[in-house]
Each structure stands twice: as structure tokens, then as C-alpha cells.
A and B are shown apart, each in its own frame.
Chain A
Amino acid sequence: MIEVRDLKKSFGTQLILDDVSFRIEGGESVAIIGRSGGGKSVLLKHIIGLLQPDSGAVLIDGENIVAMNERQLLRVRRKFGMVFQGAALFDSMTVAENVAFGLRRHEHLTEAEITKRVAATLDMVDLPGTENKNPAELSGGMRKRVGLARAIIYEPQIVLYDEPTTGLDPIVSDSIDKLIIRVRDHLKVTSIVVTHDMRSARRVGNHVLMLHERKIHANCTPEALFASQDPVVRQFVDGVADP
């Protein structure tokens, strides 16, 4: 269970998040939507402890991670997998080495077991046989899939996706959405997807949080969001620019 309480964050004089509070139950799939630069990725990074808030609390299974130092956070982060917007693959390693990274660091497995797990995970993200490729040889969609394989190989409880379909064509975006749903259903993980792609939010989320003007503006199901008559929500859903 993830709970965010009264979270405040500013960079210099610019306030990014102001008293943000919400709660995500285990196994839920939540889409966080909002305008570009609205603080969605900043919020996601607070959930995994990559950023420290100015005030407020982030509770992961009842533990406040804001009060933890970097070493204490490492233990909590084993519950997480995260897929970055630019995939953030280690460019000095092959695909197999990237995917196996978490296993090699934290689990005492034989080389044969690691190879088997890597192959199975790459198969799950529809990238069989790419073990020996370098990240530079991969397309944007393939890089995101490898990033996802790296995040889920050690079977985390929570997977965070930072704009997983940004910069991809509609067909690849669709395949990534299907993959997120498959991972959610197959591994029974809690998924948090940051996106400004409304179609993606509707498909992958069974709950939607909308960030607007530094606060949570809407916290509802996708159906309720799409049916909402709130002008701010309507403008975002319909994709209409300010007059």
C-alpha cells in the first residue's frame, strides 16, 4: 500500500507540488495524468525516494520513506521496479547484462539460472534473442521494453512507469500499453503509470489521479474522468489549448 500525505516540493522558488495526498491500495493500477511540467514525474520520484520532499510523508506498506537515509531506502526499493522515460539503460552493458543487473546484485543465483530468467523475462516483453545487443542498437520501443524487463525480473510488488509511451508511434505505444497490462495481470503488481496520453491512461489505469496547478485535481475511475464536466478535466481530456 502506498500513501502520500501532504507532500510539498519546490525547486528554488518554484513550487511544484503543494499538499498532495492520495492512497493506492496493493494490486491497483493507477494512471497519473496532467500537463507537461506539472510535476507528475517529480511525484513518481518521491514515491520511490529518488527525491526528498520539502514536507509531507510517503508511506510504503506503513513505513515513512521520507525519514530514511539512502542506505535504508535501498531495502524499500527492492519492492519497486521503475521504467524511465528514456529507458535509462546502462549503455556500457548488453541487453542481457542490463536485465540481469538486479539479479546479480541481490540474489545468489548461478549463471545458468540468471541466463534462464533473463531469457524468460525478455520473452515476456516480446524481445526474445536480443540478449547480446547493445542498447545503442535498439529502437525507442525496444529500449522501453528492455527497461521494463530490467524492472520486473526480480518480481517487484510495485512497478512505476514514467511516461512509457512518450515519443513512440501509436502502434508501438499500443503494444507498450498491452505489455503494462500483461505485467500487471501476470505478476499481480501495483502499477503507477505517469502519462499525458489519455488513451493510455484509460487502458492501463483502473484509477486516475489528475495533477493540476500543483494539486490533485481529480481522483476517480477512468470512466468518471471521461464523463466529468469539470472544465479543467474536460479541457485536458479533449486536448483543447487555452484560448
Chain B
Amino acid sequence: MNFLAGTWLGDWLTGLGRITLLSREAIASVLTFKFSRRDVLYQVYFIGIKSQSVVIVTGAFTGMVLAAQTYFQFHKVKMDTATLAVVSVSMCSELGPVLTALMVAGRVGAAIAAEIGTMRVTEQIDALRTLATHPVDYLVVPRLIAANIALPLLTVESMSVGIAASYFVGVYLLGIEPTYAWWNMLKYSHDSDVMIGMVKSVVYGGIIALIGCYKGLSCSVGAEGVGRATTEAVVYSSITILICNFFLTMVLEQLCVILGI
């Protein structure tokens, strides 16, 4: 593999290998309960509670614009009352989890990379190690568990707010008949849509926490290194989420069909 050294492919494969090792170490730490519950709670507060405003605004306006655009198209073929059904399915299985994850990646992924990166360049991570504390147990695992708890909750919030906002726009601004719209929404939205959204949100929580931590732990020395780590954490998390979304959709939809959910 030496011929790949120094090339972008070599660097990419090295990064992928390191993040896999970090994931393995983190999962081993989770399974052996080497983390502090207090740290997890604080991270749930930081990732979950503090991200609510951006998630609510994103969910609400996405639901509203989706309702409006769907209505404008469906109105041409007299399918106005199917508007909320489209919004509901889209918000539950695609837009809710993806947009929530992208917003959290921007807010939390950047913060994780900046905090850990600063700790690295100021020798605080070395100090942790001299105090017989594994950086993965203390820094990575609480963030990973917290992201996996917070993301599904934020996603449910985003879905609910988006659907409620679309109902408001559809019924009160665009004049859709509420009873048929609601009935159609319930008829065409399935448990599987919500389950797909939940599974995705757990995966995205892991992606945001692991990439943020990895970028912070591996950042180069100096202010420039921290800045680059922060930017890369957001960019790589966002791209990974979007790529994973396609594959997760394909796999989970097929899985639901096979399992008859």
C-alpha cells in the first residue's frame, strides 16, 4: 500500500482506518461501562436541549415550504388533500432525520471538534492520559452515547413540528379541506416511515459524534489546525450523512418490505 502514501486516496483510507479503530475502542468502552453517567447527561443537555431552537425552526419551515410546494403542484391535478400525506412521509423518513442531522452536525460537530482540538493543542489530552484516564472513555464515549440519545428525540421533534406547520399552512393559508387531508395523511403514513427515520437518526448521531471527536483528536498543532479540524468535522459529517442517507433508504425500505412492517 506504500504506493498510496501521500495521495488523497491513501489519506482517505488512513482516515477511514483510524476512525474505524476509534469506533471499535468507543464501542468496547461503552460495553464495559468505562464512562461517567454525569458526563453523558451533560452531553445530552448540550447536544439535545441546546440544539432545539435550530431544529424546531428548520423542521417548521421545511414542513411549511414542502406543504406549499406540494399543494401548488397537486392543485393542478385536483389532489389537494394528498398534500399532508406527502409532507408526513417525507418529514418522517427523509427530511426530518437528514435536516436535523445536518443542523446538529453544523452546531454540535463543529463544537466537539473545536473543544477536543483545543484540548489536544494545549496538552489537556496528554494531561488526561497522565491522570490514567483514556481519552476515548472521557471524551468520545459520552458524546457518542449522548448523540445517539439526542438525535432521535430531536428528529421526532422536527417531524412533529414540520407536520404541524404544514397542517397550518395547508389548512389555514391554502384552504385544503382539513378532514380529508388528515385522513389521507394517516392512511399513507406508516409505522415503517417513522421507524426508518429513527434508525437513520441513530446512525447520524453516531456519525456526527465520531467524526467530530476524530477530527478533534487528530487535529494538527496550532490555531490553524483547530480551525481546519472544525471545518472538516462539519463538511465530512454532512457529506457522510447525505451519502449514508441514500444507502439507508434503499436498505431500510427493502428490509421493511421483507419484514412486512
Show the binding face of A for B, using Cβ within 8 Å: 45, 48-50, 70-71, 73-75, 77-78, 80-82, 84-86, 88-92, 101-102, 105-106, 150-151, 160
Contacts and interface: CB of A to CB of B under 8 A. Distances in A.
A183 B160 CA distance: 60
A75 B127 contact: no
Nearest to A105: B133
24 contacts: A45-B126, A50-B126, A50-B130, A70-B129, A74-B129, A75-B132, A77-B129, A77-B131, A77-B132, A80-B130, A82-B130, A84-B123, A84-B126, A86-B122, A88-B122, A88-B124, A88-B127, A89-B124, A91-B122, A101-B131, A101-B133, A105-B132, A106-B132, A151-B130
B6 to A, nearest CB: 13
B127 A84 contact: yes
B228 interface: no
A49 to B, nearest CB: 8
B32 to A, nearest CB: 10
Given A86-B122, A88-B122, A70 B127 contact: no
B126 A88 contact: yes
B257 to A, nearest CB: 44
Nearest to A153: B131
A71, A77, A91, A101, most chain B CB atoms within 10 A: A71
Contacts of B132: 74-75, 77-78, 102, 105-106
Interface of B: 115, 119, 122-124, 126-127, 129-134
Contacts of B122: 86, 88, 91
B130 A77 contact: yes
Contacts of A73: 129
B127 A74 contact: no
Nearest to A71: B134
Contacts of B131: 77, 101-102, 105, 150
Contacts of A92: 115
B259 to A, nearest CB: 39
A81 B130 contact: yes
Nearest to A162: B123
Nearest to A73: B129
A102 B130 CA distance: 10
Nearest to B38: A104
Contact of A74 (B119, B126, B134): B134
Given A70-B129, A84-B123, 20 more contacts: A45-B126, A49-B129, A50-B130, A70-B134, A74-B129, A77-B129, A77-B132, A81-B130, A82-B127, A84-B127, A85-B123, A86-B122, A88-B123, A89-B127, A90-B119, A90-B124, A101-B131, A102-B131, A106-B132, A150-B127
